[in-house]
Structure formats: C-alpha cells, structure tokens
C-alpha cells in the first residue's frame, strides 16, 4: 500500500497553528495499521504512506514531511535504523518522529528517545490520542521553525543571514559527493558608503532591501542559498554548480540589480546602483572544513579584482 508523495503545502494557518496542509508520513508494514491511522488523520493533513524503512527514507528525503509516525518493528530497515538515518541527514534531521510500536519496555522507549524520537504511541492505539499527539507535535514544530527562521534570517533584507550561510557552507562541505563542484559568489554594492553618506541611512536601508529583492528574483538552482554576508555584501552558495555556471548566475545577479535603475549619483561605476561580484569554485569532497575558508577568500580576491577593474562587473578567481 503506497502513495506517491506530493510537495506539502504550508504547515500553518494565520493563527499560528498547524493547518490542514501539514504533511504527515505514515510508515508501517501492516495495511490494517495504516488504514486505522489514515482514518484518524484523513481530511486534516496531507498524508504520505510508506510500507518499508527504505521507502520511508526515500520519501522523507524528497518531500521532507512535517511529522513522521514510524513503526518500530519492520522487516529490513526497522524503525530505529530509519530514525538514526533521518537524524544523520541535514535535510531530514529536524523532522519530528513519533514511534508507533507494541513495545512497552522502558529500555526500548529510551533507545528511541536517544535516537531523537519526540514521542511514543503504543499499539493498539487510541485514535483520539493519536490525533491529539499529532496536533501537539505539529504545533511544537511550528514554533521551533518560527524561532529557527528568525535566527537564520537577516532582519533588514529578509534573505538568509551570515549564521545561516556558515551552517549551510559547512553542511555542503561535509555532504559533497566525489568530484561534486561547489561554487561561491561574493558580491558588494558599489560605493555603498558614498550612497549612505549622500542619501542618508534610511535610503541606504531601502537600497539594500531592493538589491536583495532583485537578487532573489534570479532563479537559482535547487539547493542554492542567497545570504547577506555583512553590511552591503551578499553571498550566494551554489552546491553542485561548476565555475562556468556560477559565472552565468553571477552575471544574472548583476543585471537584476542594474535593472532596478536606482539612482546613485555618487558612484563612479555608473549613474545607478550596481554590483561587483567575485566567483570561486572547488571540489570539496574529502577536504577539511578549513579549506572552505579558502573558497571564501578566493571569491573575495575575485571580488577585489572586479572592483579594481572599474566595478559593476564579474570576475572569476584564477590561482
């Protein structure tokens, strides 16, 4: 008994509570148990189904549900193994997992909690209890997600902040497959200090917001991250993208900001607000995290070159 997953809709409504669009992955090799859980949750949530641990990992990795109800005893990859693998992956580690099991031994429950499960429901289960616990853990997840978003978002421009970038760079570095490329674009608003001095800080803030919005309008590849690196600097992380493609994206970003046509009469790079961008690329598989700093330094050197040659341009780092 299987169902093809679909992309989940937003998991909360305007009141800040989980909405009917929240997605729940039910994992059990027993059709009877699945039917019972579906009956309890149908119409309230977007239900995804898996009948094996392997299938559960595949669906969770592609869809990233809001909650997983996971049977412990399954042939092949059991629930404990599934939970362990979910918690080892950046993409799935924050999904709340509720074990559904006939095991009532305290040691079994402790083993599940140590793996990262948030709750236990014992079989035979009470459907009202299942409903209530699902609602409770979705509400808790919503509030955790809100806090995480706030801690990872730049308050002025609404793009990712430096902390989020640092975390993503580390995650990309450790998860890169053999011979996989990782590219970085470091950009700077040209003569932004002069802009601030000439137009005032409120205008400067508005300028940065518009620049960020223009950069967000560029369709970047899946997995890419746009972040404010600091001050008037923005950075784009491009996992799986080589230097040639990264240069193409960098040029699109430059053109998107130029298209704003926002006046900057204090710039010698042109009459409107513009970007200088530096691009660097590497294949980090097996490398030390300290080498990630070298990638940033290389992009920074390329950015310096773009500024040296008149700004409002894109340069690639060549060793």
Closest CA to 156 of 225, 81, 232, 58: 232
Task: Answer whether 187's CB lies under 8 Å from 253's CB.
Answer: yes
Q: How many of the other CB atoms lie within 10 Å of CB of 59?
A: 22
Task: Answer whether 50's CB lies under 8 Å from 25's CB.
Answer: yes
**Active-site pick, 139, 232, 245, 263:** 232
Token match 């193409």: residue?
A: 248
- The answer to whether residue 245 is catalytic is no
What's the token pair of residue 264? 């900057």
Torsional class of 43: left (φ above 0), alpha (ψ -120 to 50), beta (otherwise):
left
Question: Coil, strand or helix: which one is 232?
Answer: coil
What's the token pair of residue 203? 């205008």
Sign of the four-CA dihedral 12, 14, 16, 19: negative
Q: Beta-strand (E) ranges in the chain?
A: 23-27, 46-50, 67-71, 97-101, 119-122, 182-189, 225-230, 233-239, 275-282, 314-316
Q: Burial of 298 by CB count in 10 Å (0-12 exposed, 13-18 middle, 19+ buried)? A: buried
Q: Burial of 171 by CB count in 10 Å (0-12 exposed, 13-18 middle, 19+ buried)? A: middle
The C-alpha R_g of the chain, in whole angstroms, comes to 24
Catalytic residue numbers, as ranges = 232
């Amino acid at each position: 008994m299987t169902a093809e997953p679909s992309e989940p809709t937003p998991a909360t409504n305007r009141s800040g509570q989980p909405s009917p669009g929240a997605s729940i992955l039910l994992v059990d090799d027993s059709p009877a148990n699945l039917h019972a859980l579906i009956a309890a949750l149908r119409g309230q949530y977007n239900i995804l189904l898996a009948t094996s641990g392997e299938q559960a990992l595949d669906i969770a990795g592609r869809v990233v549900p809001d909650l997983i109800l996971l049977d412990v005893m399954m042939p092949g990859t059991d629930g404990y193994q599934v939970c362990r693998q979910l918690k080892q992956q950046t993409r799935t580690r924050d999904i709340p997992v509720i074990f559904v099991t006939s095991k009532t031994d305290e040691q079994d429950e402790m083993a599940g909690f140590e793996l990262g499960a948030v709750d236990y429901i014992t079989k035979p289960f009470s459907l009202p209890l299942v409903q209530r616990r699902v609602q409770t853990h979705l509400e808790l997840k919503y509030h955790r997600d809100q806090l995480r978003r706030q801690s990872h978002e730049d308050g002025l421009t609404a793009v990712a902040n430096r902390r989020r970038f640092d975390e993503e760079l580390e995650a990309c570095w450790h998860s890169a497959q053999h011979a996989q490329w990782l590219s970085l674009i470091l950009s700077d608003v040209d003569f932004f200090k002069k802009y601030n001095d000439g137009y005032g800080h409120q205008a400067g803030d508005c300028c940065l917001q518009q620049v960020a919005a223009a950069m967000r309008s560029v369709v970047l590849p899946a997995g890419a991250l746009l972040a404010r690196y600091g001050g008037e600097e923005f950075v784009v992380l491009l996992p799986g993208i080589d230097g040639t493609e990264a240069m193409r994206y960098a040029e699109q970003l430059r053109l998107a900001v130029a298209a704003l046509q926002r006046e900057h009469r204090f710039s010698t790079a042109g009459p409107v607000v513009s970007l200088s961008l530096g691009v660097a690329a590497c294949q980090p598989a097996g490398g030390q995290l300290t080498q990630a700093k070298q990638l940033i330094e290389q992009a920074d050197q390329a950015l310096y070159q773009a500024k040296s040659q008149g700004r409002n341009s894109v340069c690639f780092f060549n060793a």
